[in-house]
A and B are shown apart, each in its own frame.
Chain A
Amino acid sequence: MGPLIPQGYITGQWEFVIALLIGAAFGFLLESSGFSSSRNIAGVFYGYNFVVLRVFFTAMIVAMVGLLYFDYLGWIDMSMVFVLPTFLAPMLLGGFIMGLGFVIGGFCPGTSYTACAIGKLDGFAFLGGFFLGVFLFSEAFPLFEKFYYSGDMGNITIGEVLHVSDRVVAFAFVVIAIAAFYVTWLIEKKVRANRTESKFE
């Protein structure tokens, strides 16, 4: 049955209406979870607010387990679901740079949209920097074109690398996530005892 758009069940303008609605739901959830505040987000690195980790990991395990059930029930054709291709070296570098950007800027692109939406100027600054960064990358692209395409492993999955099934991967993620929720809850309690304020608006 699914995915609907690649199989041609939804076409034309409806695609964009749905994109708009999905985007709106995404923005609503990000903002209402507290991601419009960089101080909430940065809390994950300093132990006073683990909201990022909670939302992120919960969303991930729900989607993973859900996808596998959909697959089992035949509701979604997993061969048509886009698996992000892996380019090992550039992705390692990309993750490294983004990690730095994360701890310095305190936003990621999606959360900066919502910060802009409620009038945070630091959100606008981050988004402006983001545009600039993409522009700089594109302009300098010929310099590292070869590197950008290096380490191509194709649309490889975690299970294929570790030689286990997707179900084992999902189960492992669930266990790790729940353990992380518990540990971070303990850490947060300790750190918050020395702080007057840990949740920001």
Chain B
Amino acid sequence: MNKNYLFLSLLMILLAGGLLLLPDRTNYSQIPPEDLLWDIIQPTRYVTTEQVAKMIIEQDPTLELIDVRDADAFKAFSLPNAVNIPLDSLLSPNYSDYLGIEDMNAVFYANDDMLADQAWVIAKRLNYSGIYVMKGGLNCWIKTIIQPAPPPETASLDAFDLYDFRKGASIYFTGKTITAPKSDNKSKVIVRRKKKTKATAGGC
């Protein structure tokens, strides 16, 4: 047999074998800025505190809450079943298996949007899908879920629905005793209200 063929075969095996030894390429540089901007301006990357509350109450198995504040803040107060991944250790290999789980919706949150947004952009650059930011963060959570303020009398039915949901959620999360609504004609209105699926989406 010709020696050249032996040499070529060896070269080809070495080239292909070299591929096996190369580290995986990390394609950070390949997300074009246009695409990233497009993703960032999509409102769908936000979830509201009500949506999160609803998922927690319904024990949605696809929900994965990620608290990106530091460990002290996490210990002081956080949401049930949340994982603490401080922003500065988001890239640490200890936490890498929390992200990019198939069919899981990872929701980042911090005290406000800022840290969570930063974490979201990093995760996006790592090419993870199913990542969200809880709009308004824990401040909004306190304002809307833990201590909901009743809407003004003139507000729309949706606003009252939302308030009802928030009150219910508040009871769920804080263990407050139920304070029955005062028996004025407002309660009759509540009874007649139609249930709307959209009701659990509100602003902060």
**Count of A-B contacts with CB under 8 A?**
43
Residues on B with C-beta less than 8 A from A69 are 15, 19
Binding site for A on B (CB under 8 A): 1, 5, 9, 12-13, 15-17, 19-20, 22, 25, 27, 29-30
Pair A168/B20 contact, Cβ less than 8 Å: yes
Pair B25/A65 contact, Cβ less than 8 Å: no
A105→B15 CA distance, assembly (Å) = 37
Pair B13/A178 contact, Cβ less than 8 Å: yes
Is A87 in contact with chain B by the CB < 8 A criterion?
Answer: no
If A74-B29, A77-B30 touch, does A170 touch B19 (CB 8 Å cutoff)?
yes
Interface majority SS on A: helix, strand, loop or mixed? Answer: helix
A195→B12 CA distance, assembly (Å) = 32
Using CB atoms, name the residue of chain A closest to B13. A174
If A174-B13, A178-B9, A178-B13 touch, does A167 touch B27 (CB 8 Å cutoff)?
no
Residues on B with C-beta less than 8 A from A71 are 25
Pair B25/A174 contact, Cβ less than 8 Å: no
A24→B81 CA distance, assembly (Å) = 63
Is A68 in contact with chain B by the CB < 8 A criterion?
Answer: yes
A52→B32 CA distance, assembly (Å) = 42
Name B19's contact: one of A62, A74, A167, A181 (CB within 8 Å). Answer: A167
**30 A-B residue contacts at CB 8 Å?**
A61-B12, A62-B12, A65-B12, A65-B15, A65-B16, A68-B19, A69-B15, A69-B19, A71-B25, A72-B19, A72-B25, A74-B27, A74-B29, A77-B30, A167-B16, A167-B19, A167-B22, A168-B20, A170-B16, A171-B19, A171-B20, A173-B16, A174-B12, A174-B13, A175-B13, A175-B16, A178-B12, A178-B13, A181-B5, A181-B9
Residues of chain A in range 23-76 having any CB-CB distance to chain B below 8 Å = 61-62, 65, 68-69, 71-72, 74
Residues on B with C-beta less than 8 A from A167 are 16, 19-20, 22
Residues on A with C-beta less than 8 A from B22 are 72, 167
